[in-house]
A and B are shown apart, each in its own frame.
Chain A
Amino acid sequence: MSSATATHDGGSASAAGSSEAPNYLNHQKTIRSWLLTLDHKRIGVLYAVTLATVFLIAGLLAIAVRLELFMPGETIMSNDAYNQTFTMHGIMMVFLFIVPSIPAILGNFVLPMQLGAKDVAFPRLNLASWYVYMIGGALVVTALLVGSVDTGWTFYTPYSSSGSMSVLYMTLAIFIAGFSSIFTGINFIVTIHKMRAPGLTWNRLPLFVWGLYATSIVMVLATPVIGITMILLFLERLLQIGIFDPALGGDPILFQHFFWFYSHPAVYIMILPAFGIISELMTAFSRQRIFGYKAIALSSVAIALLGFLVWGHHMFVSGQSAISGIVFSLITYLIGIPSGIKIFNWVATMYKGSVWLQTPMLYALSFLFLFTIGGLTGIMVGVLAVDVHLHDTYYVVGHFHYVMMGGTVIALLGGMHYWWPKITGKMYNETLGKIGAILIFIGFNATFFPQLILGARGMPRRYATYVEEFTFLHQVSTISSLVLAAGLFLVLGYMVHSLFWGEKATSNPWGAATLEWTMATSPPDPHNFTRTPIVTRGPYDFHLADEVFGPRHVGDGAGDGATSEPALPRETEST
Chain B
Amino acid sequence: MGNSNGTVWLPEGASTVASEIDWLFYFVTWTSLAIMLLVVGGLIYLAYTYRRRSADDAPQPIKESKLLEISWVVIPTILVLLVFTWGFQGYLKLTVAPPNAYEIQATAFSWGWSFDYPNGASSNNLHVPVDRPVKVNMSSEDVLHSLFIPAFRVKQDVLPDRYSSVWFEATREGEYHLFCSEYCGTQHAEMIATVHVHSQTDFNEWLADAAMDEDIPLPELGERLFGQQGCQQCHSIDGTSGIGPTMQGLYMNDRLLQSGETVTADENYLRQMIIEPTAQVVEGYPAGVMPSYARLSEREINALVAYIKELE
Contacts and interface: CB of A to CB of B under 8 A. Distances in A.
Nearest to A540: B61
A225 to B, nearest CB: 21
B42 A337 contact: no
Contacts, number: 268
B61 A543 contact: yes
A317 B159 CA distance: 11
Contacts of B60: 352, 543
Interface stretch (B66-74, B205-213, B223-231): B66-74
Interface string B65-87: 00011001100110011011011
Contacts of A289: 61-62
Nearest to A156: B144
B189 A317 contact: no
A383 B72 contact: no
Interface string A460-494: 11111111010000000000000000000000000
A326 interface: yes
B232 to A, nearest CB: 15
B88 A373 contact: no
A90 B81 CA distance: 33
B84 A383 contact: yes
Contacts of B77: 337
B50 A379 contact: no
A73 to B, nearest CB: 10
Interface residues of B, number: 89
A291 interface: yes
Contacts of A383: 24, 28, 83-84, 86-87
Nearest to B56: A7
A392 B32 contact: no
Contacts of A298: none
A391 B155 contact: yes
Interface in A345-389: 347-348, 350-357, 365, 368-369, 372-373, 376-377, 379-380, 382-389
Contacts of A344: 39, 72
B42 A347 contact: yes
B240 interface: no
A57 B67 CA distance: 48
A199 interface: no
Interface in A316-357: 316-319, 322, 325-326, 329-330, 333, 336-337, 340-341, 343-344, 347-348, 350-357
Contacts of B154: 388-389
B296 interface: no
Contacts of A322: 91-92, 95
B50 A465 contact: no
Interface in B178-234: 179-190, 192
A372 B159 contact: no
Contacts of B183: 83, 151-152, 156, 159, 461-462
Interface residues of A, number: 92
Given A383-B83, A384-B91, A386-B25, A373 B36 contact: yes
B135 interface: no
Contact of B47 (A341, A350, A372, A542): A350
Contact of A350 (B50, B68, B153): B50
Contact of A330 (B4, B36, B84, B157): B84
Interface string B33-74: 001100110110011001111011111111010001100110
Nearest to A457: B11
Contacts of A158: 142-144, 160
Contacts of A79: 186-190
Contact of A355 (B28, B40, B47, B83): B47
A181 interface: no
A406 B40 CA distance: 15
A493 to B, nearest CB: 28
A354 B53 contact: yes
B164 interface: yes
Contact of A392 (B47, B76, B155, B190): B155
Contact of B182 (A4, A295, A392, A458): A392
A246 B52 CA distance: 64
Given A333-B84, A543-B58, A457 B52 contact: no
A123 interface: no
Contacts of B150: 389, 457-458
A319 B91 CA distance: 13
Contact of A469 (B4, B55, B181, B192): B4
A333 B153 contact: no
A388 B51 contact: no
Interface string B251-294: 00000000000000000000000000000000000001000000
Contacts of A286: 50
A393 interface: yes
A528 interface: no
A541 B88 CA distance: 46
A460 B182 CA distance: 8
B97 interface: no
B41 to A, nearest CB: 10
B69 A329 contact: no
B24 A246 contact: no
Contacts of B113: none
A541 to B, nearest CB: 7
A145 interface: no
A534 to B, nearest CB: 22
A511 to B, nearest CB: 8
A246 B160 CA distance: 7
B93 A385 contact: yes
A442 to B, nearest CB: 15
B188 A464 contact: yes
A393 B183 CA distance: 11
A388 B21 CA distance: 10
Interface in A387-421: 387-389, 391-393
Nearest to B192: A467
Interface string A143-174: 00000001110001011001100000000000
Given A152-B183, A456-B25, 15 more contacts: A5-B55, A7-B56, A150-B186, A156-B144, A288-B59, A318-B157, A347-B42, A357-B51, A380-B28, A384-B88, A385-B21, A385-B24, A391-B155, A458-B150, A469-B4
29 contacts: A7-B55, A79-B186, A79-B190, A151-B183, A288-B59, A336-B76, A336-B80, A351-B50, A354-B57, A354-B59, A357-B52, A369-B40, A372-B40, A379-B32, A383-B83, A385-B20, A385-B94, A386-B90, A387-B87, A388-B94, A389-B150, A392-B181, A456-B10, A457-B6, A461-B181, A462-B188, A464-B189, A543-B59, A549-B58
Interface of A: 2-5, 7-8, 79-80, 83, 150-152, 156, 158-159, 162-163, 246-247, 252-253, 286-289, 291-292, 295, 316-319, 322, 325-326, 329-330, 333, 336-337, 340-341, 343-344, 347-348, 350-357, 365, 368-369, 372-373, 376-377, 379-380, 382-389, 391-393, 453, 456-458, 460-467, 469, 511, 541-543, 549
Counting from the closest, the 4 A-B pairs by CB-CB distance are A385-B90, A458-B150, A4-B55, A354-B57
